[in-house]
Amino acid sequence: MSPEEICRKLGEKKTKTIFQELTSDGMKKVLREAKIPTNRLASHTSTKKRNEDWGNRLWRGLADKPLATTAATLLFEWLTRSRRPMLAEFLNALEVPNEDGLTDADFMTSSAPEKLLEVGKKLLAKHDKPEVAAYLLFLDASNKSDIFGPLELDKVFVTSAAPAAESTQ
């Protein structure tokens, strides 16, 4: 599943929430990738309004266009800045050296697929399922693999994204 498909499966509300969790620098990095101007508009009467506008514009782009690199940047920034404890737990269970969830190790190719699946299942049982699914699917997308395919992660989104489908753009 491509990064933009992951964002679409997460749904509008969750994708905007992920964007809102980023630092201002992280937001601007994602927006530049999407070619969305980061200048402040007259309607941006507060930082909150600016960030909401940026989130809306980003979602419209992700929902309508093939923005794989933008979606990948969004997911990478969110995971590495907001979900490091979850990443660290995953890497520690695989016995991969890491610094609070970050590593340069090529663990997707050096770890046995069975072990990756086992640790992925444990992560799903312990953390927010759509967030874990997004992480594992992002790992597969980044490594052009389908190691986590047997977990049928796309089914995790069916129930969690249903209310988001009703929201407006």
pLDDT in tens, 107-146: 999 999 999 999 999 999 999 999 999 999 999 999 999 9
Tell me the one-letter amino acid at 131: E
Q: DSSP characters for the chain? A: --HHHHHHHH-HHHHHHHHHTS-HHHHHHHHHHTT---PPPTT--SHHHHHHHHHHHHHHHHHHS--HHHHHHHHHHHHHHH-HHHHHHHHHHTT---BTTB--S-HHHHS-HHHHHHHHHHHHHHS-HHHHHHHHHHHHHHTT--TTGGG-THHHHHHHSHHHHTS--
How many C-beta atoms lie closer than 10 Å to residue 169's C-beta? 8
Quick one: pLDDT at residue 40?
77
**Residue keyed to tokens 């590495």:** 80
Domain spans of the chain, in order of start: 1-82, 83-163
pLDDT tens, N- to C-terminus, the chain (169 residues):
899 999 999 999 999 999 999 998 999 999 999 998 888 788 878 888 989 999 999 999 888 777 788 999 999 999 999 999 999 999 999 999 999 999 998 999 999 999 999 999 999 999 999 999 999 999 999 999 999 999 999 898 865 444 444 444 4
Q: How high is the pLDDT of residue 165?
A: 42
Predicted pLDDT at 42: 80
Percent of the chain scoring above 70 in pLDDT: 93
Q: What is the pLDDT of residue 157?
A: 83
Q: Are 69 and 35 in contact (CB under 8 A)?
A: no
User: Residue 43: its pLDDT value, please?
Assistant: 80
